[in-house]
Amino acid sequence: MKWLVLIHVLSALIGIGPTFFGHVLLRNNQTLEQLRHSMKLAGRLDFFPKIGGTIAVISGILLISLNDYGPITQLWLVGSLVLYVLIQVVVIGFMAPAQKRLAQWVYDAANLNKVELPQEQRAILSRANSMYYVASGMGLVLFVFMIIKP
């Protein structure tokens, strides 16, 4: 069972961990050239939540099924599931579309020689950055629930 706990913890860290780097990668005060590079790195990091998050959910279900953690209606279990779903909603529903709109402008051939983001794209970048903070905050609470099981 220790191996399953280890797999669960590591996959959760790998699955949610890249979210904590989003603030740095999509920060507002960078040049357009830096933003292009940061967006490429962010795109590469997107791989880890897909795999890690899936393994974390599967291993978490196995842990609950195979161990005696008590009723599934406990605050830390329900709270963890709700937070995980909310993180997915924020990332898939808000952050990803904002990043996609920003990337369309940033990588458009007509804009490759530009050196500054227009106001509309700055607003999109700011919104995506804010969503990273929301997802990271919920991720921290999720880890607290997993560790202290209130």
The pLDDT of residue 37 is 94
Spell 109-134 as b/e; 16+ CB within 10 A means b: eeeeeeeebeeebeebbebbbbbbeb
Q: Which positions of the chain have pLDDT values less than 70? A: 150
Give per-residue pLDDT as tens, 111-126: 989 988 999 999 999 9
The pLDDT of residue 36 is 94
% of the chain beyond a pLDDT of 70: 99
